[in-house]
Amino acid sequence: MGNGVTPVEFEAGQDGKPFTIPTKITVGDKVFTVTEVASQAFSYYPDETGRIVYYPSSITIPSSIKKIQKKGFHGSKAKTIIFDKGSQLEKIEDRAFDFSELEEIELPASLEYIGTSAFSFSQKLKKLTFSSSSKLELISHEAFANLSNLEKLTLPKSVKTLGSNLFRLTTSLKHVDVEEGNESFASVDGVLFSKDKTQLIYYPSQKNDESYKTPKETKELASYSFNKNSYLKKLELNEGLEKIGTFAFADAIKLEEISLPNSLETIERLAFYGNLELKELILPDNVKNFGKHVMNGLPKLKSLTIGNNINSLPSFFLSGVLDSLKEIHIKNKSTEFSVKKDTFAIPETVKFYVTSEHIKDVLKSNLSTSNDIIVEKVDNIKQETDVAKPKKNSNQGVVGWVKDKGLWYYLNESGSMATGWVKDKGLWYYLNESGSMATGWVKDKGLWYYLNESGSMATGWVKDKGLWYYLNESGSMATGWVKDKGLWYYLNESGSMATGWVKDKGLWYYLNESGSMATGWFTVSGKWYYTYNSGDLLVNTTTPDGYRVNANGEWVG
């Protein structure tokens, strides 16, 4: 069915109604049996001229069809796909249903193969089931990636092979089960494993336990295994684990604590990425292999310890948002220890604690920042010291706050009334020319500040008259780009937080309803767009995962 190039066109009378693909088609005096859905046959693309494109609400696939070709239902508007009784469907090829608006589908027992990204980006998909007596043997890479409504999935006992990153960036799954009798895979409390539990394949993003310990048999965490989990705070990895895969903990936003075993040997690219609550990380002694950007974007990480036998650190080992990082401890004592010029992309305030002058010299010759490097003596014992005590104020005059006729004033040590900025008990206040304490917005030396109802100067986010503003650490109102807790925001010239589309220096960016800058794939008014991690919109090109976007940045195929 279809010519493999352009989609089937529907008439106005078919719009929003069920449609059944015919079993046979007559051409001239010949009758042909329909055995395949051709590439693009039921794909949906908005007409660039504005012409209305009609599409049915559901599509029934006859039993004669054995294959759905690549992108056969790409972007489909059908809410349901129904397979006739006695379906002979054997193969669903790559991207067959990607970006579709499919809500529900039951796959027939005859199906043997599901291709790469077959259902990826089908954001409305809530229910996907397999018929009893399923013959399905292989599900290819990222088949169920980027889904946001599918809450549960049960793999049939016939499945023998699963591709990589099967649930990449899927945010809705609560548990993945495996039908009893499967010889290749197992599910333990909704977590997907290889049958022998040596590989943890996927820990669901919406599994709501706050702590978890991997089984003693586990040797590998697969790529994206814990990605996008919204609940996990504490993770204990078993002794015997050897490998952590690419993006394994990416965007596990609640993860605060993780215990890495001494058996660990390999940590792949961006394993720790976007872990907004992780405060400390200790890399055990025997890790030998690191991917690039192993740790990136850890805004609350305060301390990193690098184990004794780790002799070499790669490029881009530690980078991204590291606003809270205070110290890095390197336990290595070997003269073979080495780093690259770009191993550490860290704030200059971070202190290194090392075991020898050699390690110090290696760091000094490779760091692009002037960080303090302290050589610790192994036998050094810290001595207790007296705590400094504040001296009593000898001034016996009236000093501090005075209230008069409902207004607050501040008197200096001399007894004179203060104006301008005053710091009291660690907080800043602003006194008007009349001496009265200010609240609300104040302009001083060309900069705007916001004083809370108590009079104290605000920092961070402030909501005023329904609009959000951001005050820098100095208290001054921000404009332009601001980074907060690992996310970027844009403040208009008036200081109010922007939402929607923003153009800056010739590039387009999109700010979500929360104000945070969108990255990766996102939808606006039913259209898909893609931005780099830097937030700038891709136009007239192909995205990193192989999709085309037009001059407006809209996904077109």
Q: Is 166 exposed, middle or buried (0-12, 13-18, 19+ CB in 10 A)?
A: buried
Rounded to whole angstroms, the Cα distance separating 14 from 158 reads 38
Q: 399-467: what CATH class?
A: mainly beta
**Fold matches, 1-182 and 399-467:** no
Beta sheet of 58-61, edge-to-edge order: 18-20, 58-61, 80-83, 104-107, 127-130
Rounded to whole angstroms, the Cα distance separating 142 from 366 reads 39
Q: Is 214 exposed, middle or buried (0-12, 13-18, 19+ CB in 10 A)?
A: buried
In this prediction, residue 382 carries a pLDDT of 31
Residue with tokens 């809270």: 324
Band (379; pLDDT cuts 50, 70, 90): very low
Going from N- to C-terminal start, the domains of the chain cover: 1-182, 399-467, 479-557
Rounded to whole angstroms, the Cα distance separating 322 from 341 reads 18
Q: Which fold has domain 479-557?
A: left handed beta-beta-3-solenoid (2.10.270)
Instruction: Give the mean pLDDT of 106-129.
Output: 96
Q: Chain-wide mean pLDDT for the chain? A: 89
Nearest one of 376, 381, 265, 268 to 331, comparing CA atoms: 376
Q: Cα–Cα–Cα angle for 269, 265, 341, nearest 5°?
A: 50
Residue 48 in tokens: 């660039």
Nearest one of 554, 543, 431 to 501, comparing CA atoms: 554
In this prediction, residue 526 carries a pLDDT of 82
Rounded to whole angstroms, the Cα distance separating 349 from 325 reads 8
In this prediction, residue 394 carries a pLDDT of 36
Residue 194 in tokens: 């290889």
pTM of the predicted protein model = 0.69
Residue 295 in tokens: 């740790």
Band (46; pLDDT cuts 50, 70, 90): low
Report phi then psi at 318, rounded to 5.
-135, 120
Q: Which fold has domain 1-182?
A: 3.80.10
3-state secondary structure of 14: helix
pLDDT digit string (tens) for 452-508?
988 999 999 999 999 999 999 889 999 999 998 888 999 999 999 999 999 998 889
Nearest one of 527, 531, 487, 542 to 509, comparing CA atoms: 531
Instruction: Give the mean pLDDT of 244-249.
Output: 96
Nearest one of 150, 107, 114, 112 to 132, comparing CA atoms: 107
184: pLDDT strictly greater than 70: yes
In this prediction, residue 123 carries a pLDDT of 92
Residue with tokens 């790469």: 116
Rounded to whole angstroms, the Cα distance separating 32 from 21 reads 13
Secondary structure (H, E, C), 349-396: CCEEEECCHHHHHHHHCCCCCCCCEEECCCCCCCCCCCCCCCCCCCCC
Residue 190 in tokens: 């909704």
Q: How many CB atoms lie within 10 A of CB 40?
A: 23
Do 357 and 364 touch, CB atoms closer than 8 A? no
DSSP string of 21-47, one letter each residue? --SEEEETTEEEE--EEPTTTT-----
pLDDT digit string (tens) for 187-206?
999 999 999 999 999 999 99
Give how far Cα 525 sits from Cα of 122, 238, 498, 506, 529, Å.
16, 46, 18, 23, 11
